[in-house]
Amino acid sequence: MKAAKLETGHSIMVPLFVEAGTVVRIDTETGEYLDRVKEVKRS
C-alpha cells in the first residue's frame, strides 16, 4: 500500500498498482480504498 492524495486534499492508502490520475472508489464512512473505477460518466 502507498499514500495517495485525492482531489479533495485528503490522503488515503491505495494498492501499489494504482497510478496517478486513476479514478478510485472510496468508502465514505471509513475513508478506505474500495476499487478502481473503469468508466467515468460525466455530464
Task: Find the CATH number of the domain harbouring 9.
Answer: 2.40.50.140
Query: pLDDT class for 42, splitting at 50, 70, 90?
Result: confident
Q: How far is CA 14 from CA 7, 11, 23, 39, 41, in A?
A: 14, 9, 11, 19, 22
Determine the structural domain holding residue 28 and report its residue range.
Answer: 2-36
In a domain, 13, yes or no: yes
Q: Is the separation of the CB atoms in 13 and 3 below 8 Å?
A: yes
Q: What percent of the chain has pLDDT over 90?
A: 86
CB 5 within 8 A of CB 11: yes
Q: Would you call 10 exposed, middle or buried from its count of C-beta atoms within 10 A (0-12, 13-18, 19+)?
A: exposed
Lookup result for grid cell 465514505: 28
Confidence of residue 40 (pLDDT cuts 50, 70, 90): confident
**Count of domains forming the chain:** 1
